[in-house]
Amino acid sequence: MAKLKVGILTSGGDCPGLNATIRGAAKGCYNLFGEDKVEIIGIHNGFYGLIHNDCEKMSPIDFAGILTRGGTILKTKRTPYKMMQVVEEDNVDKVSEMKKTYKAQKLDCLLTLGGNGTHKTANLLSEEGLNVIGLPKTIDNDIWGTDVTFGFHTAVDIATDVIDRIHTTADSHSRVMVIEIMGNKAGWLTLYSGIAGGADIVLIPEIPYDINKVADAVKKRAEEGKSFSIIAVAEGAMDKEEAEMKKKIRMKARAEQGYNTATLRITKEIETLTGFETRAVVPGHMLRGGSPSAYDRVLATKFGARAAELIKQKKFGYTVAKVDGKITENKLTDVAMKTKFVLPDDELVITGKNIGISFGD
């Protein structure tokens, strides 16, 4: 009897919990089918590896000791969904080549660990007839249909620690500190870490800000005898004027002013409007690095094990999810092309406003 062959790839940005999920899926398959009846094929560098047949046969020992390890043992690479069906100068038909690799490796199923772009490509391959199961990864927590993605809680912990540490220097120097948190389209990471870290002002993409109201919030704190302010800014935050622009026009205007995100501009504007010494802090990729938290290790293990169950049930064309505290799954067709945004009336936004946090609106 031929072995069950399962391909696994990680695509897009890295984050804590990828290895824990890979481990959960592999151990789940070994347990459900038997180590001698399943073969795991590791695909290097995401969909790029699937396009170029960069694969390796893995053994159970390869998944030992990776529960706590950050990053991904399979390596990852960004291969934009919008280019998947475009034949570029190399004359490579990416979809055709991915299907060829799937068949050449004699895969029975492909597990794709990634964010929104990964889920779009996973759905594309599913519609092309491949057996695909997705697993939701992103520190942005913006995949539709799941309460949480693995990697998010660890990033919240790291971002919160950054804000905690900035508090002491802000207090010591009586400064306004503007901390840029990753999150280009969705503000979940900034919202959670901002509230957990005690930020005074939280600016996210979904709630365009008025810089004068942000400055007023800083001045109000000073009038109350508070010598410093902490502003948590999502990298995708925009003011009300920018929110009316199309993305290309907005990015062109920013480039002409010499910046990519609003953080440096906010820093300069706050200093000008308030007269207070203001500094910007950009932890950047630190938020993606390091060992996953205990929460993410458990979540990743649950997600990986659920993927193994779906393989046994031959339930393909789905992505694993957590809904109302239970591990379940959604159809890839329902998840692809959708993004989970923070709503202005989200419970956490209301909580923030109720305790005096300004969102600049």
Q: What are phi and psi of 100, to 5 degrees?
A: -65, -45
In eight-state DSSP terms, residue 293 is P
Q: Which of 140, 142, 157, 239 is catalytic?
A: 140
- Residue 218's Cβ-side half-sphere holds a number of Cα atoms within 13 Å equal to 30
Q: What are phi and psi of 278, to 5 degrees?
A: -130, 135
Contact 287, 181 (CB under 8 A): yes
Alpha-carbon 329 to chain mean position? 18
Catalytic status, residue 140: yes
- Residue 251's Cβ-side half-sphere holds a number of Cα atoms within 13 Å equal to 6
Q: Compute the distance between CA of residue 330 and CA of residue 126 in angstroms, rounded to an integer.
A: 14
E strand or H helix at 108:
none
Q: Compute the distance between CA of residue 27 and CA of residue 281 in angstroms, rounded to an integer.
A: 41
Handedness of CA 209, 213, 219, 223 (dihedral sign): negative
Q: How many CB atoms lie within 10 A of CB 66?
A: 17
Cα angle 333-346-354, degrees, rounded to a multiple of 5: 170
Task: Count Cβ neighbours within 10 Å for each residue of 128-142 and write b for 16 or more, e otherwise.
Answer: eebbbbbbbbbbbbb
38-43 and 201-203 strand pairing: unpaired
CA-wise closest residue to 17 among 147, 132, 137: 137
Q: How far is CA 155 from CA 110, 192, 247, in A?
A: 27, 10, 26
Handedness of CA 143, 186, 74, 127 (dihedral sign): positive
Provide the annotated active-site residues. Answer: 140
